[in-house]
Structure formats: structure tokens, C-alpha cells
Structure 1
Amino acid sequence: MHLYTYDSAPNPRRLGLFLAYKGIDLPTTQIDMRENKHRDAEFLAINPLGTLPALMTDEGVMLTEVIAICDYLDALYPDKPLMGSTALERALVISWDHRIFVSIFEAFAEMLRNRSPAFENRALPGPLDIEQIPELETRGRKRFRGSLELFDTELGDKPFLCGDSITFADIDLLVGVETARWVKESIPEGCDNLQAWLERSRAALS
């Protein structure tokens, strides 16, 4: 296997925390997104989507979605499972993860990609030129804050999103919350359940 990534970017960080927690070490090539190396012809020949991370499996199959890479690796390396140990646990992790991606990561992308000059004509990830829509920044902030308030209520006094053990869903929410600092957002005031969860998750991953 071979991993193409850029450690400091949000999606690669999701995978990086997963790999570190499980103790998986993969041959890796860093693709510098700050220098737009993910849009160079050399990398597009490897992954035509131009997205990171991307994992080339031993079978020669390219996996480009973080949740797919993690699900694949969790099956290959079952110690310290992060995708659930039963069918129901796995369903809960995937359900939470989908919600987090749609309501937190997409909201973050709306805030960042529709305001920053660095993303001119790149309002969506991938190879297509997509124009910015400045009004979506406001919508992104509303989605982000409202979703975290709802998550705080649903979390209640549970240690982690899916129960007593940390899962990939917790990793994703942690990355979403911490990356939101890039657009001057954080856990809303009064979300004490989420704040306590964040400290537990950081401790569990350290």
C-alpha cells in the first residue's frame, strides 16, 4: 500500500489521527497543497480527483474517500477498532460520521471556500472550476453553530458519540471543531457536554 496525503489539511488529519491511534505505519508521500501540488499533472495521473488523502491498495485500487480508507484499514488491522465491533456499532459510527461530514465539514467548506481569495474558482474540492458564492459563508456559519448545539443535546452525558469507546466519528468531530478555528468558529457557548467530550477525545487520542 502507499498513502498520498498532506498532514496538516483537514481530511488528511482525519486519517492521520486514525492511523496514529491504531499504530498503523504506511509508506507515504506528502503532496504539498499549499503549493497546489495536488493539482499538478503528476498527481492527477495518480488521483484524477486531485484530492487528499488517497490510498493505493496492494491490489492496485485507489481509495479516495477518508471513511472508505478507514473502514478498509480497520478491517485489515482489527486491533483497537474505530469503526465498531458489531454490525450495529458500525452502523452508528457511519451514521454519525455522515452527519458530521454534511453538517460540520461542509459548513466549514462553505465558510472557507466562499470567502478566501486562495479558493477563487475552487469553491468545491476536485478538478472542476467552481465559482465562489459569498452568501454561502453566512449559511455555513449558521449550519455549523446549529449543528453543534444539536450534537451537544444528543451527546448528553455519554462519554463518546457512539457510547463508551472512542470511534472514528469522534475523530471526525474533533477535527471539524478544531479546524473551524481557521474561520474563527468554535464550540458555541453553553455547549458543556460537547466541551467535556472534546477534552475526553483529546485525551483518548494522545
Structure 2
Amino acid sequence: MKLYTFKQAPNAQRVQVFIDEKNIEIERVEINVRDGEQFKEPFQSMNPFNCIPFLELHDGTIISETVSICRYLEELYPNPSLLGVSSENRALIDMWNRRLELDGFTPILHALRNKAPRFAGRVIPGTRNDLKQIPAVAERGLDIFKILLNRINSHLSTSQFVAGIEFSIADITGYFMMEMSEFFEIEIETSFPSVFRWHSLIKSRPSIPK
């Protein structure tokens, strides 16, 4: 297998942490997405969505999308489980991971891409075009993200990890959601103390890039 990635991209980092938590050895191929390398062959044909990460299997099959890659790897390397070991556990982890993606990771991603100057001309992931950054999109994304922060702050006051007592893919998603939000300089420690406690806990894990 080969993992095509870019070590500074949040979704690529999510997959890499998943891999490192499982202590899996996978060949990595770095694609410089900032320089547009993903639009060149053979990468364009391998993944026409022009995003990373994506996984190439031994028979040439390509799996893209962060959670899809993680699900495949979980099947091959079930221990330690990051997607759940029981029906209830799997459902809860999936529920929280989905909620963090919908109400946190995706809104803050679009807020960042519509605000940060470095994303001018590439507002939509996997594109290079003349779509303009829209301040209102950034503002609304930040609004949605802050609503989520309030909700998970309450939840994390009684839960060590996002989906219970064990570290899971939901914590990985949440951690990199928070990392993207740093651009907006949201005061977390006093406004969302349970989120701050949890984020500090996740940051201390050896798998998290320092």
C-alpha cells in the first residue's frame, strides 16, 4: 500500500495519527498540494477530486476520503480499535465523529478558506479557480463552530474523550478541527474549559505532531 499525503494538511494529519496510533508501517508519497502537484499526472488520474490523502492498494485500487481510509485500515489492523469494538461503541463513535465533521471541521475549514489570504484562488478544496473569498461564509462558519464548542464543552465536562472513556477517531477529528480554528484566535481556556482540558489531553499523545 501507498499513502499519498501532504503532512501539513489537516485531513492528511488525521489519517497519519490514525496510522501512528495503530503502529502501522505504510509507504508515504508526499504530494505538494500548495504547489498544485495534485493536478499533475499520475495524481490527477488516480484521484480526480484532487485532494489528499488517498490510499493506493496493492492491486491499484484507490481509496480517498479520510474516514474511508481509516475504516479500511481498521479492518486490516483492528487493534487498538479506533472505530469501536461493540455495536453500541461503534455507533457512538460514528455519531460523534459525524457531528464533529458536520458542525465543526467542515464549517471551520470553509471559514478558514474564505478568510485566510493564503487560500485566495483555492477556496474550495481540490480546486484552483477565480471563486472569490466570501467574508459572510467565513463569519457563518465561525458561528456554527462556536455553537458546537458550547455543546461539546458541556459534553466533555463529564466525558474524558469525545465518545466516552477511550480515545477514538472522533478525538482525532476534533483535535484537528481545533487546530484549524487557531487562525481565528478564539479564547478557549476560560470560555470553554472542558474543551481546553480535552484538547490538552489529546495534544500530549505521542501520535500528535508537535
Normalised TM-score (structure 1) = 0.91
**Closer, same or farther: CA 107–71 of 1 in aligned 2, 3 Å:** same
Q: Is the 8 A contact 2:112 2:180 kept in 1?
A: no
Deviation at 1:107, TM superposition (A): 1.6
Q: Is the 8 A contact 2:12 2:53 kept in 1?
A: yes
Q: What residue in structure 2 maps to residue 61 of structure 1? A: 61
1:109 aligns with 2:109: yes
Q: Is the 8 A contact 2:109 2:180 kept in 1?
A: no
Letter paired with 2:171: D
The aligned runs of 1:92-171 (5 Å cut-off) are 92-127=92-127, 129=129, 130-171=131-172
Q: What is the distance in 2 between the residues matched to 1:110 and 1:199?
A: 25
Q: What is the distance in 1 between the residues matched to 2:205 and 2:126?
A: 33
Q: What is the distance in 1 between the residues matched to 2:161 and 2:88?
A: 16
Deviation at 1:43, TM superposition (A): 1.5
Letter paired with 2:54: A
Q: What is the distance in 2 between the residues matched to 1:128 and 1:99?
A: 29
Paired positions, count: 206
CA offset digits 1:72-93 (Å, max 9, x no partner): 1011011111011112211111
Q: Is the 8 A contact 1:100 1:173 kept in 2?
A: yes
Q: Is the 8 A contact 1:160 1:170 kept in 2?
A: yes
Deviation at 1:134, TM superposition (A): 2.2
1:178 partner SS: helix
Q: Could you tell which deviates more after superposition, 106-115 or 47-56?
A: 106-115
Percent identity of paired positions between Structure 1 and Structure 2: 29
1:50 partner SS: coil
**Closer, same or farther: CA 198–115 of 1 in aligned 2, 3 Å:** closer
**Closer, same or farther: CA 184–19 of 1 in aligned 2, 3 Å:** same
Q: What residue in structure 2 maps to residue 34 of structure 1? A: 34
Q: What residue in structure 2 maps to residue 82 of structure 1? A: 82
CA offset digits 1:23-46 (Å, max 9, x no partner): 011011000122121222432121
Q: What residue in structure 2 maps to residue 72 of structure 1? A: 72
Q: What residue in structure 1 maps to residue 201 of structure 2? A: 200
Normalised TM-score (structure 2) = 0.89
Q: What residue in structure 2 maps to residue 180 of structure 1? A: 181
Q: Is the 8 A contact 1:2 1:56 kept in 2?
A: yes
**Closer, same or farther: CA 139–158 of 1 in aligned 2, 3 Å:** same
Letter paired with 1:17: V
Deviation at 1:59, TM superposition (A): 3.8
| Structure 1: runs of 5+ lacking an equivalent | none
Measured on the aligned residues, the alpha-carbon RMSD in Å equals 1.9
Q: What is the distance in 2 between the residues matched to 1:151 and 1:192?
A: 11
